[in-house]
Amino acid sequence: MSSDGHEPTAMTFELLKTAVKDGGARLGRLAFPGRRTVDTPNFFGLTSRGVIPHVTPDNVEKHLLTNGTYMALEDFIERPQQYMTRSPPVYETPSPNNKPLQSFTAMPSSIITVLGSRRLPAVAAPMGNTNQSISVFTSTGFQAITTKQYINAIQTLNPDIAIPLADLTHKTSAPTSKRALRMAERTDDWIKEWFMEMYGRNKEPSKIATFAPVLPISYSIQWEYLERLSEEHQSNPSVLSGLAVYDADLIPDISSSYQNLDTLPRLALTTPSNPHQVLRQLSLGMDIFLLPFLSTASDAGIALSFTFPPPSSESSELLPLGIDMSSPEHAISLQPLTESCTCYACTTHHRAFVQHLLCAREMLGWTLLQIHNHAVLASFFASIREALADGTFEEKARQFALRYEPEIPQGLGERPRARGYHFKSEGPGEQKRNRPAWSKFEDEKKIEDKVADLSIADEQNGTSGLGSGVDSVAETPLVPDENADAKDLEEMGFAEKAENK
């Protein structure tokens, strides 16, 4: 109990060990009553419209080794034009345990829920933010949400962890110094309003854990904002439970300047595109990661195959970070997806079955890949924690960097259909995101040229130019060319020439 008689925020975080003096990679333990305890470093699952893609909530409980999920408010607050005044259904959900967000999404009660305003990565809004609101991208288009509306939504939905609003551009280019200063000033104003509404005088302190955003701008521009966070935490530790960090390179500045903030858990909103970037950010002191490349790899038909530390070998050839399960070479393979994996997909099915599912565009194929890829990441982080505990992390991280390829393979299989809320239309002349069910025969070489320069990072950031997927060579129904003769039809497999009798 706190000195004023109120029960403090339910979350606890304990630092167990740091790898090096004055910052760096560290071991910790995050706990909420009634939830799974999270040993850090670790990762949380990313959701789309409240669910981890391809995995039903019951299978999250059974097969996914994840202790938390990140959800975005913009996934739930669409306003169809014919029902502009209707309250979003998520706000009307009955919840016997006073957890409407968890009840609405049917997420298992053992899973920690994190609620932010935007998806990760977010689609940049054309109109930008204002002094009192940000633009969000719902399934019915862009709309503004005010700071007051966002705070009310957090109080209504009652997640375990909430991330206050931040003034972000969500663009790949760095903001100008003038825009960066405005980002810091707006976010500072919004965090003042947040603390007043959530923990102000004559109010019962909220039990929702606040993870304050750390902006992706230089420390010198946002130091006053960070100073406010430090002072608020110093005067009342229950109002600030953690940091949501958008740029890992700011962690050393925070560690050296604000000792009280250094003990808080750090949630990465940095969207690393491969495990090499994860290890780098982890070595700076990041605790919990959100990894868009995990679902992107599953959609691409990639079974992640890396381990920490890497397997010993005398060969100098780099190992791939993943295996393309849509490749025809797996059509008769009875091997598990990866030899050392003990997940449900690897112990129950084999590569040939998964390859068939992907070629037939059966949803189960992506489900099995999601289960496997989550298991690979869970094992990856568990091994990192062991290395931190025995003091071998830095050496094993160096071995990992030397042993594996720099990027995850992009995969040649056809992806699931893209949805309108996954991307922003670019206007006339834009290439279609989903391929038609039937198309004319296209030379295989043309298709290979399209995917030659793509990467998982391209698809994750929406910059591939091909939307959610790359054309499939093997499984797309074909239409013969109108000038094709009998010989052409036979060569393409459309028909067989009848012998003259």
Parse the chain into domains and list their residue ranges: 12-290, 306-416
Q: Is the dihedral of CA 327, 331, 337, 338 positive or negative?
A: negative
pLDDT tens digits along 121-132: 998 888 889 999
- Lowest-confidence segment of 17-21, 30-34, 237-241, 314-318 by average pLDDT: 17-21
pLDDT tens digits along 250-274: 999 999 999 999 999 999 999 999 9
Listed residue (404, 433, 441) closest to 416, CA to CA: 433
The predicted pLDDT at position 457 comes to 59
343 is in an annotated binding site: yes
54 is in an annotated binding site: no
372 is in an annotated binding site: yes
What residue spans of 165-303 are helical by DSSP H?
177-199, 219-235, 251-257, 259-262, 275-284, 292-299
pLDDT tens digits along 66-121: 999 999 999 999 876 667 678 899 999 998 888 999 999 999 999 999 999 999 99
Which residue is listed with tokens 């969500």? 170
Question: 116 or 205, which is more confident?
Answer: 116
The C-alpha angle with vertex 240 and arms to 235 and 244, in degrees rounded to 5, equals 140
CA distance 481 to 488: 9
Cβ-contact 275, 321 below 8 angstroms: yes
pLDDT tens digits along 387-417: 999 999 999 999 999 999 999 998 888 888 7
Listed residue (25, 102, 49) closest to 388, CA to CA: 25
Cα 322 off chain centre by: 18
Listed residue (434, 298, 414) closest to 367, CA to CA: 298
Which residue is listed with tokens 């250094």? 262
Which residue is listed with tokens 């470093």? 41
The predicted pLDDT at position 18 comes to 75
Residues in Cβ contact with 392 at an 8 Å cutoff, skipping those fewer than 6 apart: none
Domain 12-290 is of which CATH architecture?
Alpha-Beta Barrel (3.20)
Does residue 440 carry a pLDDT above 80? no
CA distance 158 to 91: 11
pLDDT class of 216 with cuts at 50, 70, 90: very high
pLDDT class of 468 with cuts at 50, 70, 90: very low
Burial class (CB in 10 A: 0-12, 13-18, 19+), 361: middle
Cβ-contact 73, 115 below 8 angstroms: yes
Question: 419 or 311, which is more confident?
Answer: 311
* β-strands 141-146, 133-138 pairing: antiparallel
Phi, psi of 450 (to 5 degrees): -65, -35
Listed residue (56, 54, 154, 158) closest to 112, CA to CA: 158
Phi, psi of 76 (to 5 degrees): -120, -5
pLDDT tens digits along 282-338: 999 999 999 999 999 999 999 999 999 999 887 889 999 999 999 999 999 999 999
The predicted pLDDT at position 471 comes to 39
- Lowest-confidence segment of 196-205, 226-235, 248-257, 346-355 by average pLDDT: 196-205
The predicted pLDDT at position 5 comes to 41
Alpha carbon distances (Å) from 118 to 72, 75, 123, 130, 138: 5, 8, 8, 16, 9
**DSSP state letter for 34:** T
